[in-house]
Amino acid sequence: MSELSALKQAQYHFYQMQGHIKDNKWYSHLYSHLAAVEGELQRQVESLEGTKVKILDNSAAGEIPETDRLYNVLEEQTNGFFPPDTSYTSLSRVVASRKYEDLLSEGVSPNSIKIVRVK
């Protein structure tokens, strides 16, 4: 099975799963965690098919484009907000969101986490 076939099959199963949870009262919460997977599958399929991946740039003149922006994920500590370690600094928006989700899954309160743009 080719990589493209495997990704398309994963998309198919993703949409099947989405159909199974659509009537769940917590659907929006469940889907919020799956949205990144859906987007990444689509990006990889488009990349392998040779279709151009579109990145919207809504930045104003003189502003840094979204694709070049960097973020730090900070956790509240006794003396302020600091990155838990160096892997939480200078991240793209998508990676910063994943790090945020990682901290939440470790039991850190959302009130104790900040995402700060550094560039």
Three-state SS across 17-46? HHHHHCCCCCHHHHHHHHHHHHHHHHHHHH
Question: Which tokens sit at 92?
Answer: 């793209």
Q: What pLDDT sits at residue 52?
A: 45
Share of the chain above pLDDT 90, in %: 20
Provide the CA 39 distance to its chain's centre, in angstroms: 9
Mean of the pLDDT values across residues 62-82? 82
Question: Which tokens sit at 86?
Answer: 């160096």
Query: How do residues 19-34 score in pLDDT, each as one tens digit?
Result: 888 888 887 778 777 7
Stronger pLDDT, 64 or 49, i.e. the higher one: 49
Provide the CA 116 distance to its chain's centre, in angstroms: 15
State the average pLDDT for the chain: 82
Q: Is 92 left (phi over 0), alpha (psi -120 to 50) or beta?
A: beta
Residue 29 CB partners (closer than 8 Å, separation 6+): none
Mean of the pLDDT values across residues 67-74? 84
Share of the chain above pLDDT 70, in %: 86
